[in-house]
Structures are given as C-alpha cells and as structure tokens.
C-alpha cells in the first residue's frame, strides 16, 4: 500500500514563563520562525510541580498560543528544535525564564514534543520524541496514565476544545 500524505494539524505552544516580557519576545520569535499566531489563552498558575522553580523562579505560569497555518505533523521535531533555540536565545545567565512546549492536535489526539525519553514516547528525529498526551473520545479530551499532572487536572481542557473547534473550521475552509 502506498503511503499517503498526512492531514495537516494545528500546532500550539504551551509556554511556561516567569517573565512576561520574555514571553512576549518568545512569541515574536515564534512568529518569525513558525508563523502567525491566531489564538492566546489566559495565563494559568503552574503549581503542580516545583521541577522548574530553581531555573525559572516563582511564580510560574502557563499560557497557550496556536499558529494560524495548519502544518504537516512530521514537522514536530524540527519545530521543537526551533523552540529550544528560542529558549536558549532568551535565557538569562544560562537559565530559562520561558519554556516552549510545542505540540499539535488533530481530531483524535493532542501530542507534545519532548527531548526527554520515557517509555510511552515515540522517537522522531534530532533527539526529539512525540509524547501522546490527550486523546479525544466520546466528545471530550482524556489524559493518559503518563500525562503530566497539569494537563491531567482539566483546567486546560477548554483551551484544547477551542483549538480543536478552530482546527475543524480551518479544515472546512
């Protein structure tokens, strides 16, 4: 059977940040390297873990923004590398104040990119893995057992529902 070109997906970034000015700069660099942004969420307190406290300081927030263009899901590894470069460019004395977690969604799932191996992650390229994070079943998003705690607790669900609806509208037009 001949391989088919995949349907394009909706890319987004779940940015962790402790400095709003650096987040704004990161968004501008993302626009230059990835494309126009079509959605920004509210900022959510990021307090499910203290993992980033030493590097980023407190308080830390998470905010989502998505890209207007639908993109081939095969670009996930390359886009994660671009995000890592942006993080490094904006680091302060070697410490990140902005962490850009890029991922995508389609009708059935939400996937994040990761540079860290874990058993459920699927190797892509350039040291980057795909981390299946949420699945859309029976009309709503559900976490997997391995899903990060802040994605499991449900506060972000309205964001992903909005992005999924936007994706559906974009595919129709």
pLDDT in tens, 87-146: 999 999 999 999 999 999 999 999 999 999 898 899 999 999 999 999 999 999 999 999
pTM of the model: 0.95
* 18-70 tens-digit pLDDT: 999 999 999 999 999 999 999 999 999 999 889 999 999 999 999 999 999 99
Q: What is the CATH number of domain 10-172?
A: 3.30.70
CA of 82: how far to CAs of 78, 125, 139, in Å?
Answer: 6, 13, 33
């Amino acid at each position: 059977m001949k391989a088919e070109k995949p349907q394009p997906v909706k890319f987004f970034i779940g940015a962790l940040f402790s400095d709003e000015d650096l987040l704004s700069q990161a968004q501008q660099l993302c626009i230059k390297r990835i494309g126009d942004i079509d959605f920004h969420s509210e900022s959510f307190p990021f307090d499910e873990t203290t993992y980033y406290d030493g590097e980023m300081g407190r308080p830390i927030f998470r905010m989502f923004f998505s890209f207007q263009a639908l993109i081939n899901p095969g670009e996930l590894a390359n886009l994660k590398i671009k995000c890592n470069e942006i993080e490094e460019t904006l680091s302060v004395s070697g410490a990140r104040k902005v962490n850009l977690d890029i991922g995508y969604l389609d009708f059935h799932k939400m996937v994040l990119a990761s540079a860290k191996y874990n058993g459920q992650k699927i190797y892509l390229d350039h040291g980057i893995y795909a981390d299946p994070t949420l699945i859309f079943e029976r009309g709503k998003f559900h976490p997997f057992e391995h899903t990060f705690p802040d994605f499991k607790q449900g506060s972000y669900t309205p964001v992903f529902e909005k992005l999924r609806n936007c994706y559906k509208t974009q595919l129709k037009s």
